[in-house]
Amino acid sequence: MMTLRTGWLPIGALAMVLISILAFLYSRDRGHDTSAYFENAVIVRQLKQLDARWELDVMKSKMGINPNYDALVDPLRDLTQLQGLLRGRLTGERHQGAATLETVQGALKNAVSRKTRLIERFKSHNSILRNSLFFLPTAASDLRQESGPVGRATDAVLLDLLVYGQSPSSEGATEIETRLGALAAAGKSQSSKIQDDLDVFSSHVRAVLREQPLVNGLLRTIAQVPTTAHIDEIDRLLGDEESRIEARVQQDRQYLLIFAAALVGLFLYAAIKLLRSHAVINRVNRQLQEVNAGLERRVQERTQDLETANTSLTAIQAAVRNLLDNAEQGFLTIDRDLGIGAQSSAACETILGEAPAGRKIVELLCREMPSDQASAMQATLASLFLDSSDFMRELKLGLLPAAFGLGGKSIRAGYKMLGDSQLMLILTDVTETTRLAAQVERDRLRLEMVVLAFTESEAFTALVEEYRAFIGTELPALLRQIAEPGRVNELYRRLHTFKGLLAQFSFHRSPQRLHGFETALSDRTSWTAQAARQVFAPEQLQAEFQQDLDTIADILGADFLASDRRLSLSQDQLKTMKQVASQALASGRELSPSVRQLLRDLAALGGLDVKSALALHGRGATALAARLDKEVGPVAVEGDATSLDPQIYGPFLNSLVHVFRNAVDHGIETPERRLSAGKRVEGNIRCTVRQDDSGLKIGIEDDGCGVDREALEAQLTASGMPSSQAAEIPLDNMMFREGLSSRDGADEISGRGVGLAAVKAELDRLGGSVSVETGQGAGTRLCFHVPASPKLIGHNPACLEMIQ
């Protein structure tokens, strides 16, 4: 671009130069007006002509051709006028030799005025001369007439005068004077008239003599006046100048032409250059446009790529976010100034209770911490970022607390250093886990307690008795006597001992309470009975002890504790004893009622209680329900107490577990379904046991969704049975058929189609029957009828023997 602009500069400069030259030449020549010259030339010619005519008229006057002198007067006026005109014109025009012209014009003027004067004098003398010359012949003839000799003398004079007139000379003049003198002398003798005439004649002759040379001289002088020369000079000057100017104009015209051509060429060149640059510009423009279009395309493509990348990134981000948010763990980052980063998982908000972004971590996390701990954590966190060695960092991270309590939740915190400038915190709500852990621990302890109670039952029972006695009598007595010296220590010792013993058996609450009592005791050294009674309330101990014991009762049964001491008996022993008892009863011997009762009790030992068995199944059912995220209330078992031969009825009763499992798995719906069906969320299973002479009736009912008959039919038709035939089969038949299940796939719990079939098998063995009542969405009720038979051992131990 710069070259283009500078390329124009010389062109422009050259154009300016050419234009200025052209303008100069044109203006110079425009002023030149040839007509002015020609007019001037005309005037000059006129001057010359007038001058010439003037001289001619002078001649004419001399010769007498002009009758008067008017012709000699008028030229002067015209000459003056023309001269003035010329002068005015020449002064008005610009002439190179203006000074010279002025001089010549001045000279001309002088010459003209001189000529005028000369001509004036000529006129004067010429008239005298002519008069005299004209008169002399007359005078001579008059004299001739008057006197002969005088006349002859005058003639002679006349002759001489004529000669003189042709060529005046001084000799001629003197000679004529001599003759005149002679004539005068000769005339003296004549008459006065003749003398007068002679005088007149002589005076005229003398006049001629006088005037003739004057006139001749004047004529010569007039001729010599250089008016012509001056006029010619003016003419020449003007002509020269004109030709010079003409030549210059011609030259200028040539230059004008050349420069104009040059200018045109320059313009052409400039035009070509312009066109070329225009073409270049167009080309470049097009190229630019193409490039631009290409760039735009690329940009668009890139943008699209970016957009897709962005969307995928967003998707990834969303997925990651999803993952994080669904992780149920709080991930957040903190930076150097302990502010929480903008990105954190959703769980953080739940855990911390408010949106964490931008807040200070210590504010949110250490809310429920003692302030000294919080400031310590803050200091540690702050110093963490200042360290650069991984070892120091690891050390400090280890110092940070790992567990926080926030809003009733237990939060576990994990720390990870991300680079040098960020620390990642992983917060996990471990409330549930903790609770469960605590529960597990509790259960473990309970079980431990139970196991210990069972295995060391004698010691356990003894301890229970002892502690009961302590609470009942010893403690109140001690409390009453607390003020006495040494009682405090004794109380302390007893408490401590019981604590240890109870802890040994993994009692849960009591040792804790005893420990609390110990602490309270050690805090004060002197007690009053009243204060002690308040603090160490035996009722409290009793209540807690009972609670602890209840845990065992739940598992091992109430009887376990109820009896003071336990006795173990082997099966053979029992069998023998029962046999003996049965035999004794059957012998028919006379027995006392109490002995008969004893024998009956003995024979009934080891008998199955249906209710207990069902309760056991019920417990299993509730546990199963919990595992399946269904809610089933405690299974109510009511009815008659029974005692059945375990060997006979045991398998059947055991198989009833499947009924319960089915009830929970198939029958009881999920809480959502139950809720949408308008039922209570908690499912209900109820068992009834009736024993009469016809047999044993066991009823198990649930309020679930009922048996899905259609599903069973579908399975039958799928396996090949025609549907019409399948529709004929009664429900109880289908339910208890082997391999048939209302569920397509078996899971861990049920669905194989085997469970109820097993029940049926056992029932058949016993000769029993079952009836099914089911309603879609209402529930199912199964009624088992086990017939009364000699096998049914109520209070008849002898039957037992026969079957076996």
Partner 1 sequence: MILMVGLILKRSGNRGFVLATFIVVAVQGVAQPSLAARLDEPIVPLPATLHVNVARADIGRRMFHDVRLSADGKVSCASCHDTATSGADGRPHSFGFRGQATAVNAPTVFNAALNFVQFWNGRAASLEAQVDGVVQNPVEMGSKWNDVVAMATRDAFYRPALAAAYPDGVTKANIQNAIASYERTLITPNSRFDRYLLGDASAITAEEKKGYAKFKQYGCVACHQGVNVGGNMFQKFGVMDDYFARRGNPAKADLGRFLVTGDEDDKHVFKVPSLRNVALTAPYFHDASAPTLEAAVDVMFRYQLGRVASSQDKSEIIAFLRTLTGKVAGKP
Interaction between residue 134 and partner 1 (CB under 8 A): yes
| Residue 74 beta carbon to partner 1: minimum distance, rounded to whole angstroms | 4
Select from 37-45, 298-306, 611-619, 732-740 the region that touches partner 1 (CB under 8 A). Answer: 37-45
- State the amino acid at position 118 in one-letter form: L
| Residue 185 beta carbon to partner 1: minimum distance, rounded to whole angstroms | 21
- DSSP annotation of 316 reads H
Q: Which is nearer to partner 1, 57 or 665 (CB)?
A: 57
Interaction between residue 141 and partner 1 (CB under 8 A): no
Q: Residue 513: which of 526, 528, 527, 502 has the closest Cα?
A: 502
Q: Which is nearer to partner 1, 120 or 363 (CB)?
A: 120
Interaction between residue 220 and partner 1 (CB under 8 A): no
- Cα gap 377→383, rounded to integer Å: 10
Element (H, E) at 695: strand 695-702
The residues in 158-217 that bind partner 1, with binding defined as CB under 8 A, are 196, 200, 203-204, 207
Interaction between residue 248 and partner 1 (CB under 8 A): no
Interaction between residue 46 and partner 1 (CB under 8 A): yes
Interaction between residue 38 and partner 1 (CB under 8 A): yes
Q: Which is nearer to partner 1, 71 or 98 (CB)?
A: 71
- Cα gap 667→705, rounded to integer Å: 5
- Cα gap 544→537, rounded to integer Å: 11
| Residue 39 beta carbon to partner 1: minimum distance, rounded to whole angstroms | 5
- Sketch the per residue contact string, 672 through 711, with partner 1: x for CB under 8 A, - otherwise: ----------------------------------------
Interaction between residue 53 and partner 1 (CB under 8 A): yes
| Residue 30 beta carbon to partner 1: minimum distance, rounded to whole angstroms | 16
Which residue in 67, 358, 678, 730 binds partner 1 (CB under 8 A)? Answer: 67
Interaction between residue 69 and partner 1 (CB under 8 A): yes
Interaction between residue 598 and partner 1 (CB under 8 A): no
DSSP 226-268: THHHHHHHHHHHHHHHHHHHHHHHHHHHHHHHHHHHHHHHHHH
Which residue in 135, 255, 267, 492 binds partner 1 (CB under 8 A)? Answer: 135
The residues in 72-131 that bind partner 1, with binding defined as CB under 8 A, are 72-78, 81-82, 117, 120-121, 123-124, 127-128, 130-131
Axis-axis angle for helices 509-523, 487-504 (nearest 10): 160
- Cα gap 368→20, rounded to integer Å: 99
Q: Which is nearer to partner 1, 86 or 657 (CB)?
A: 86
Q: Tell me the three state secondary structure of residue 488.
A: helix
Which residue in 42, 279, 355, 718 binds partner 1 (CB under 8 A)? Answer: 42
Interaction between residue 18 and partner 1 (CB under 8 A): no
Q: How many residues bind partner 1 (CB under 8 A)?
A: 42
Q: Which two tokens stand for residue 459?
A: 């010691």
Q: Which is nearer to partner 1, 70 or 539 (CB)?
A: 70
Contact between 37 and 242 under an 8 Å Cβ cutoff? The reply is yes
Residues 6+ apart with CB under 8 A from 719: none
- Cα gap 408→410, rounded to integer Å: 7
Interaction between residue 717 and partner 1 (CB under 8 A): no
Q: Residue 501: which of 532, 551, 545 has the closest Cα?
A: 545
- Cα gap 518→493, rounded to integer Å: 9
Interaction between residue 68 and partner 1 (CB under 8 A): yes
| No. of helices (H) and no. of strands (E), the chain | 30, 9
Select from 64-72, 428-436, 578-586, 728-736 the region that touches partner 1 (CB under 8 A). Answer: 64-72
| Residue 1 beta carbon to partner 1: minimum distance, rounded to whole angstroms | 56
Residues 6+ apart with CB under 8 A from 60: 66, 71
| Residue 230 beta carbon to partner 1: minimum distance, rounded to whole angstroms | 19
Element (H, E) at 325: helix 227-326
Q: Which two tokens stand for residue 377?
A: 């954590």
| Residue 250 beta carbon to partner 1: minimum distance, rounded to whole angstroms | 17
| Residue 70 beta carbon to partner 1: minimum distance, rounded to whole angstroms | 4
Contact between 334 and 425 under an 8 Å Cβ cutoff? The reply is yes
Q: Which is nearer to partner 1, 48 or 152 (CB)?
A: 48
Q: Convert 585-598 to b/e letters by CB count within 10 Å (16 or more is b).
A: beeeeeeeeeebee
Cα 603 to chain centroid distance, Å, stands at 93
Question: Interface residues with partner 1 (CB under 8 A)?
Answer: 34-35, 38-39, 42-43, 45-46, 49-50, 53, 67-78, 81-82, 117, 120-121, 123-124, 127-128, 130-132, 134-135, 196, 200, 203-204, 207
